[in-house]
C-alpha cells in the first residue's frame, strides 16, 4: 500500500474491504477503475466473463482477493451471444450495420464470427455475490436486464461505472436516458464522465487519420454515486467506502471530503478530519 493510500485509510478509519462486482470483466481497456483499491488490499472483486479466452486471462492473472465466474448476467433466461472478430464487440445484441457504415474506423472488428446461445443468471440469484458497494458494468447493451434483476443486491450500491451509448452501435441498444432513469431508481446520480468516445463520420478522414474524431459522440463510461442529499440514510461505513472509491479511483476529492464532513458532523470522525484530509491532498507529489 502506498504511503498516500495508507494515510487515507487512517483518515477514513475504514476497516473492512470494499465489495466490488465487475460484470463484463474482459480486460480490453487497460486496468479496471478499481485496480488501485485492489492493489492496496482495500477491495475484493467478483467478476463475470462468459467469453472463455478472456476468462482464462483473468483467472491466470488474478490475486487471492479476486474471483472470476463464467456466468452471463441478465434476466435469467437464455440469450444469443454474438461473438465478434474483436472480443470487445461481443454482445447479446447484433452490431448495427447501418451504424458501422457511418464509422468505418471500426473496420472488421464488429464482424460476427459465430453466434451461440447462453443461459443467464439474475444478479439477485447469484449466491457468490452479496451486497455490492461498487459495480463496474460493460456488456454492450445488456445493462438494463442486469439492473432490473439485481434490485436486492444493488439496493445499497454506493457507486456504479457503466458504459452508456449516445449513438447506437448495436441493434436495439438501450439509450443513455434509459440507463440513467434505471440508476436513479437506486438513489444514484451522475458524477463523472470517464473515457468519452467519439467517432469520425464517413467519408471524412481528418488529417488522413480515420481514428481522429471531430464531435460525434458514440459512447462513454459514466460514473454514478449515491445522492449525497440523502446522506442521513447512509451508514458510517458506507460514507467511508464511498470516500475511498471517490478518492482512489477517480480523484474526486470534493466528494470524498463531503463524506468526511458528514462523518465528522455525526461524531464518527475526529474534529480535525477535514484538516488532515486537506493536508493529504495538498502535499507535494513526486513526479515520475
* Residue 14 confidence (pLDDT) above 60: yes
Residue 14 covered by a domain: yes
Residue 230 covered by a domain: yes
| Least reliable range by pLDDT among 2-16, 111-125, 212-226 | 2-16
Quick one: pLDDT at residue 254?
97
* Residue 264 confidence (pLDDT) above 90: yes
Report the domain count for the chain.
1
Nearest to 140 by CA among 195, 101, 82: 82
Residue 126 covered by a domain: yes
| Least reliable range by pLDDT among 1-5, 6-10, 28-32, 125-129 | 1-5
Task: Quote the CA–CA distance of 123 and 136 in Å, as a whole number.
Answer: 13
Higher per-residue pLDDT: 40 or 210: 40
Quick one: pLDDT at residue 205?
80
Q: What is the mean pLDDT of the chain?
A: 92
Quick one: pLDDT at residue 263?
97
* Residue 44 confidence (pLDDT) above 80: yes
Residue 81 covered by a domain: yes
Task: Quote the CA–CA distance of 246 and 25 in Å, as a whole number.
Answer: 20
Residue 159 covered by a domain: yes
CB 238 within 8 A of CB 131: no
Please state the rounded mean pLDDT for residues 17-30.
90
Q: Which residues sit opposite 39 in a β-bridge?
A: none
Residue 203 covered by a domain: yes
Residue 234 covered by a domain: yes
CB 95 within 8 A of CB 123: no
Nearest to 61 by CA among 84, 90, 38: 38
* Residue 287 confidence (pLDDT) above 70: no
Domain span holding position 238: 3-282
Residue 288 covered by a domain: no
Quick one: pLDDT at residue 30?
82
* Residue 149 confidence (pLDDT) above 70: yes
Strand 134-137 and strand 18-23: the pairing is parallel
CATH code, 180? 3.40.50.150
pLDDT digits (tens, 9 = 90+) for 72-113: 999 999 989 899 998 888 888 999 999 999 998 888 899 999
Task: Quote the CA–CA distance of 75 and 121 in Å, as a whole number.
Answer: 6
Strand 112-122 and strand 159-165: the pairing is unpaired
* Residue 1 confidence (pLDDT) above 60: no
pLDDT digits (tens, 9 = 90+) for 168-206: 999 999 999 999 999 999 999 999 998 899 999 998 887
Task: Quote the CA–CA distance of 105 and 100 in Å, as a whole number.
Answer: 9
Amino acid at each position: 500500500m502506498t504511503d498516500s493510500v495508507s494515510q487515507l485509510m487512517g483518515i477514513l478509519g475504514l476497516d473492512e474491504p470494499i465489495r466490488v462486482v465487475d460484470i463484463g470483466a474482459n480486460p480490453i481497456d487497460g486496468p479496471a477503475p478499481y485496480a488501485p483499491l485492489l492493489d492496496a488490499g482495500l477491495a475484493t472483486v467478483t467478476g463475470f466473463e462468459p467469453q472463455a479466452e478472456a476468462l482464462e486471462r483473468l483467472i491466470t492473472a488474478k490475486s487471492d482477493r479476486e474471483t472470476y465466474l463464467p456466468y452471463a448476467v441478465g434476466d435469467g433466461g437464455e440469450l444469443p451471444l454474438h461473438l465478434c472478430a474483436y472480443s470487445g464487440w461481443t454482445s447479446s445484441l447484433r452490431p448495427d450495420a447501418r451504424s458501422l457504415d457511418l464509422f468505418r474506423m471500426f473496420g472488421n472488428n464488429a464482424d460476427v464470427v459465430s453466434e451461440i446461445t447462453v443461459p443467464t443468471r439474475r444478479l439477485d440469484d447469484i449466491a457468490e455475490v452479496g451486497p455490492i458497494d461498487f459495480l463496474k458494468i460493460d456488456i454492450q447493451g445488456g445493462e438494463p436486464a442486469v439492473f432490473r434483476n439485481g434490485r436486492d443486491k444493488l439496493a445499497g450500491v454506493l457507486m456504479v461505472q457503466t458504459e452508456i451509448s449516445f449513438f447506437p452501435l448495436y441493434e436495439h441498444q438501450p439509450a443513455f436516458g434509459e440507463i440513467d432513469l434505471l440508476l436513479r431508481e437506486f438513489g444514484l446520480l451522475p458524477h463523472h464522465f470517464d473515457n468519452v468516445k467519439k467517432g469520425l463520420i464517413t467519408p471524412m478522414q481528418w488529417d488522413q487519420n480515420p481514428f481522429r474524431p471531430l464531435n460525434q459522440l458514440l459512447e462513454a463510461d459514466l460514473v454514478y454515486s449515491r445522492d449525497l442529499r440523502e446522506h442521513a440514510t447512509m451508514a458510517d461505513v458506507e460514507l467511508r467506502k464511498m470516500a475511498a472509491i471517490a478518492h482512489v479511483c477517480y480523484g474526486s476529492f470534493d466528494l470524498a471530503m463531503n463524506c468526511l464532513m458528514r462523518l465528522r458532523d455525526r461524531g464518527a470522525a475526529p474534529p480535525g478530519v477535514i484538516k488532515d484530509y486537506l493536508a493529504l491532498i495538498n502535499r507535494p507529489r513526486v513526479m515520475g
